[in-house]
Amino acid sequence: MPDIFVTKTREEPGAKAMRVEVPLERVRAAEDKATAYYARRVRLPGFRKGKAPTAVVRKRFQEAIREEVIRELVGEGWKLAVEQEGLKPIADPRVRDLKFEAEKPVTFELLVEVKPDITLGRLGGFQLTRRVLPVRDEMVNDQIEQIRRQRAPWEPLSEPPKAGDYVQITLAIIETDQASEPKRYELVLGEGRALPEVEARIMTLKPGETGDADVQLPQDFPDPAKRGQRRTARITLHEAKRQELPPLDDGFAREVGDFDSLDALRAGARQDLEQEAARQADAEVRRQLIEQIVGANNLEAPRPLVERLLATYAQGYEIPDDQLERFAGEFRPLAEAQVRRDLVLDYVVEKQKLQATEEELDQRVAKIAGRRQADPGQVYASLQKAGRLRELERQITEEKAFAHLLQQSTVTEA
Amino acid sequence: MPVLHRTVVQPVVTEKSSAAYAARKEYAFMADPHATKREIKAAIEGLFNVTVVGIRTLQQRSKRRTLGRREGRRPRWKKAYVRLKPGDAIQVFEG
């Protein structure tokens, strides 16, 4: 049987287009195959199952057979194209300009995004700085203060509230002696959520009291005509609450978690912050490394790959169609950086065969299971179910790739 | 005489009729039960622009059919097998 012809029509880094021509004989064979498939299976009135003559089947199932033929031929063409051109596709191809006429060869164009062939000549010898931000006492205190605030109960007040207190008010604007419909607001004073004049007035009221304040309507007031004008606001304070911070002592530490004393809690918080700082420092070193590799090798992010990633982002953020352009403009640098990073890592992983192994994955799962005090098998299953295994695998692979790359460069601690 | 497409209602496409076509190049048609062979022949020649060289007809009897508890009958009809002049064809069984 004559061969399918595949000719490359266009190429740019990251994408290829190929023209495929399927000779008539092949088309006929595919048609016969599809017809036979239907002839065997369908039940037509007047015929027992599978007994309808092919001519009748062909006529009745014209459309379905046509589709089947196209699918078959595109599949065959694609397979051949991958083989012949040595493609490394990263997605399914798109079909364009499909021509399928009776008694003529079928032609179509395949467009596909491919992994670009890159060579990175220089991967090492870079100077990188690792700067771990020191954890200062204030930071530890801030952290503990935050925990304290999260755990503090709100107690009702009977005196006028102060900044930091939570209040419930109703507010009405008085228009020429007539008050508008009062609206209800809840806010924490001192956070700039209400007009300064209003906040100041609230702080003079006891819960249950009502008072008037002279205000200038803000520039974002709903009615444009009244913006900037002066009005009287009638404020009623319904409820005020103040947070009673728990005393900072060993008892508090015990309540927060597995800590015996306040010092232990402090040490724990410090350790968390230090770990976080180290993580950030490592991430920064990695970013520097990728940047330098990219710079040293003049690596460009291929446009098709960037477009593809942008489309994925847009889908993830559910960007409406009319904002796509603006979104793409904003996120393009980010997508380009991501594409370059992936290209570098993929290159290293492939060259050095650093792909995470099944064993390493198992070990990592066991580690996670140990931390959660769960059965590794169960953790594995739940990760698999959530589709997170590939993510984990990629993570291990990237760690290995970075470990390999960092060996070849100098990291100076700053 | 009824109009042409009342005389000859529709081709009969079944396993049996396609076997007749395969073996003897005979086409089967459903026809008005009162139509004569001459009428059917004229109708087919008029409708498909072909020459009929042989025609055999038979009566398909009415059959009892029940639909739930209701009983009814399917109408009787006439089946006609026609042979055409060599070279003529009607697009029924061919692709």
How many folded domains does chain B comprise? 1
Q: Which CATH class is domain A5-113?
A: alpha beta
pLDDT of res. B90: 84
Measure in Å the smallest separation between the Cα of B59 and chain A Cα atoms.
18
Q: Of the CATH numbers 1.10.1300, 2.60.40, 3.30.300, 1.10.3120, which one belongs to the domain with range A260-413?
A: 1.10.3120
Indicate the average pLDDT of chain A. Answer: 84
Tokens, residue A152: 């503090």
Q: Let me know if residue B84 belongs to a domain.
A: yes
Lowest mean pLDDT among A203-207, A247-251, B13-17, B78-82: A247-251
Q: Let me know if residue B18 belongs to a domain.
A: yes
**CB contact B94 to A (< 8 Å):** yes
CA B43 to centroid of chain Cα atoms: 11
User: Which of A93, A13, A11 minimizes the C-alpha distance to A340?
Assistant: A13
User: Which of A363, A359, A343 minimizes the C-alpha distance to A351?
Assistant: A343
Domains A5-113 and A153-243 share a fold: no
CB–CB of A51 and B13 under 8 A? no
Alpha-helical regions (H) of A95-245 = 137-151, 196-202
Q: Of the CATH numbers 3.30.70.260, 3.40.50.300, 3.10.50.30, 3.30.70.20, which one belongs to the domain with range A153-243?
A: 3.10.50.30
Q: Let me know if residue B80 belongs to a domain.
A: yes
Q: Which residue segment(s) compose the domain that B34 sits in? A: 4-61+75-88
In this predicted model, what pLDDT tens digit does every residue of A321-364 receive, in sequence order? 888 888 888 888 888 988 888 888 888 888 888 888 888 888 88
Instruction: Express as a percent the part of chain A with pLDDT over 70.
Output: 99
Do A20 and A5 touch, CB atoms closer than 8 A? yes
User: Which of A298, A338, A353 minimizes the C-alpha distance to A121?
Assistant: A298
Say which of A46, A52, A55 has its CB closest to residue B94.
A55
Q: What is the ipTM of this complex?
A: 0.76
Q: Which residue of B has its CA nearest to A62?
A: B95
Burial class (CB in 10 A: 0-12, 13-18, 19+), A104: exposed
pLDDT of res. B93: 62
**Helices A358-372 and A376-385, axial angle in degrees (round to 10):** 110
What CATH code is carried by the domain that includes residue B23?
Answer: 3.30.70.330
Measure in Å the smallest separation between the Cα of A394 and chain B Cα atoms.
55
Measure in Å the smallest separation between the Cα of A90 and chain B Cα atoms.
42
In this predicted model, what pLDDT tens digit does every residue of B2-46 receive, in sequence order? 566 677 778 888 889 888 988 998 999 999 999 999 999 998 898
User: Would you say residue A244 has pLDDT above 90?
Assistant: no
Q: Which amino acid is at A367?
A: K
Mean of pLDDT values over A4-14: 80
Tokens, residue A201: 């007035």
Mean of pLDDT values over B42-51: 89
Output the CA angle B6-B9-B13, nearest 5 degrees.
Answer: 175
User: Which of A250, A337, A233, A249 minimizes the C-alpha distance to A295?
Assistant: A337
pLDDT of res. A126: 86
User: Contacts of residue A48 in chain B, CB cutoff 8 Å?
Assistant: 15
Output the CA angle B83-B86-B90, nearest 5 degrees.
Answer: 60
In this predicted model, what pLDDT tens digit does every residue of A188-236 receive, in sequence order? 888 877 788 888 888 888 888 888 888 887 777 777 777 777 888 888 8
Tokens, residue A214: 């002279």
pLDDT of res. B95: 40
Query: CA-to-CA distance for A284 and A286, rounded, in angstroms?
Result: 5
Burial class (CB in 10 A: 0-12, 13-18, 19+), A322: exposed
Check: pTM over 0.90? Answer yes or no.
no
Do A133 and A277 touch, CB atoms closer than 8 A? yes
User: Contacts of residue A51 in chain B, CB cutoff 8 Å?
Assistant: 15
Q: Let me know if residue B14 belongs to a domain.
A: yes
Lowest mean pLDDT among A216-220, A264-268, A286-290, B69-73: A216-220
In this predicted model, what pLDDT tens digit does every residue of A118-159 receive, in sequence order? 788 888 888 888 888 888 888 888 888 888 888 888 888 888
pLDDT band for position A177 (cuts 50, 70, 90)? low
Say which of A46, A55, A59 has its CB closest to residue B15.
A46
Give me the residue spans of the domains in chain A. 5-113, 153-243, 260-413
Say which of A56, A58, A59 has its CB closest to residue B18.
A56
Residue B66 phi, psi (nearest 5): -110, 145
pLDDT of res. B3: 66
Integer CA distances (angstroms), B25 to A54, A86, A232, B52, B95, in order: 16, 54, 101, 12, 15
pLDDT of res. B94: 55
**CB contact B95 to A (< 8 Å):** yes
